[in-house]
Amino acid sequence: MDEGCGSCVTVGIMGRCCFGVVSIAVLCFAALVSYGAEGYPAEDLVVELPGQPKVGFKQFAGYIDVDVKNGRSLFYYFVEAEKNPEKKPLALWLNGGPGCSSVGGGAFTELGPFFPTGDGRALRRNSMSWNRASNILFVESPAGVGWSYSETASDYTTGDAKTANDMYIFLLKWYEKFPEFKSRELFLTGESYAGHYIPQLAEVLLDHNARSTGFKFNIKGVAIGNPLLRLNRDIPATYEFFWSHGMISDEIGLKIMNECQFDDYTFANPHNVTDSCNEALTQANIIVGSFIDNYDVILDICYPSIVEQELRLRKLATKISVGVDVCMSYERSYYFNLPEVQKALHANRTNLPYAWSMCTGGLEYSDTDANMDMLPILKKIIKNHIPVWVFSGDEDSVVPLLGSRTLVRELAHDLNLKITVPYGAWFHRSQVGGWVTEYGNLLTFATVRGAAHMVPYSQPSRALHLFSSFVRGRRLPNSTRIPTED
């Protein structure tokens, strides 16, 4: 509270307004109205999160009602670009699952401006936040994920089509709250099962553009990390990864190759494969065991019972492995369940009868949708002259680069796209950032060296370089000026 003021209100960048004098109160009200009229909804402004470092950019959070009749609403968190936000594009980020939070994952564990502190009670700056390159929008989708909800129980039985349509309605209504972004360049990004979410959303937006005589989405690119694109290539790639990294024996690896026909593999158990194949897959999973993080086989694991006790005792739960805090997800979950944090984010407005969690068990998400082949939709996107980047952390065994690279090459072949950048190393800070190839100036496949399934989480600097290149329409650099030999 400012000295000498009876009561104050913070009005974003307008500073503090004290209502000691009527004329000042009138000016303050005018400032609030003006602030909202500029395309920034004052009611969604996040003034400051508990324990947050001071920053110069604005952040907003709140709800968009996508189905008023059913009471279905999606929660979002939006952060302005760090510098010159009025000149930067808008990037949407979605995590996968299906059923995992983009706010918890993308925003507060991977690529957003803040990470939780080791005691789960405050925040620290992420110096490699993607808002250095773009304005970023995170959405908890579908309803039932995180703080997104519905007042109609049947809405928790859902699938890809409904998720894409809700996100379409969300974006239309979000633009009503932030009208200055309507004409801004839009980049659609995400990871994992967002390999389904993002292409299908892009298709819905393109269909809107084709029939609209007015507003059109200004889609400038699609980028998906370690994405599920087609089961019959992504699933066998997991077991190829296990074998090539010495995580299963030759005998088990050969048994899987000989016994399993993955062409008919389905997401739901028993996966539509033979008993002998299922037995081989089970044996492989047992050998790999639970003491390895399948999302990054290099990182050590965090033990929940230990970290949860440390958080309760106000101790630091941080455990560093290869430069990464492998307990960050527990620290974040603790932070998100603090009442003062939910209040600051305008979250949990209906007092949900369960705690916030990264991935929900309350959804009945279609098993059959995961079987869909995403390549035809990516083909449609590229035919609309929208660049598509597929990037892969090379330490991920869940959706390994081995499958994604093959699928991108197949997509390029189907589109008759010629190689415009031969497969080779790309560089960041005079070191190899990964390997990259490009087809027809529209389709790019890139690996990120030393990265997990969640690329920005384990390789933040390389991930930011990749994202910045993507939104700026630049190729990843294929050389370094610093000599490596005398």
Task: Indicate which residues carry an active-site annotation.
Answer: 192, 396, 453
State both tokens at 273: 């494969």
Report whether 199 contacts 224 (CB < 8 A): yes
Query: What residue has token string 């059109």?
Result: 216
Three-class SS of residue 187?
strand
239: Cα within 13 Å, side-chain hemisphere: 28
State both tokens at 311: 């958080």
Report whether 274 contacts 431 (CB < 8 A): no
| Nearest-angstrom CA–CA distance, 486 and 481 | 14
Report whether 187 contacts 90 (CB < 8 A): yes
User: What residue type is assigned to position 171 of the chain?
Assistant: L
State both tokens at 2: 């400012």
| Nearest-angstrom CA–CA distance, 174 and 181 | 9
DSSP 100-152: B-TIIIIIIIISSSEEE-TTSSSEEE-TT-GGGTSEEEEEE-STTSTT-EESS
Query: What residue has token string 């059959």?
Result: 368
Nearest alpha carbon to residue 437 among 396, 483, 404: 404
Of all residues in the chain, what percent are helix, strand and coil, respectively (each to 5)? 40, 20, 40
Three-class SS of residue 320?
strand
| Nearest-angstrom CA–CA distance, 302 and 292 | 10
| Alpha-carbon distances of 207 from 163, 200, 212, 380, rounded to whole Å | 16, 11, 9, 11
Query: What residue has token string 């003006």?
Result: 34
| Nearest-angstrom CA–CA distance, 85 and 78 | 12
| Nearest-angstrom CA–CA distance, 107 and 93 | 9
State both tokens at 120: 């789960």
| Nearest-angstrom CA–CA distance, 156 and 287 | 35
Three-class SS of residue 24?
helix
Q: How many helices (H) and strands (E) does the chain have?
A: 13, 19
Report whether 49 contacts 123 (CB < 8 A): yes
| Nearest-angstrom CA–CA distance, 334 and 314 | 11
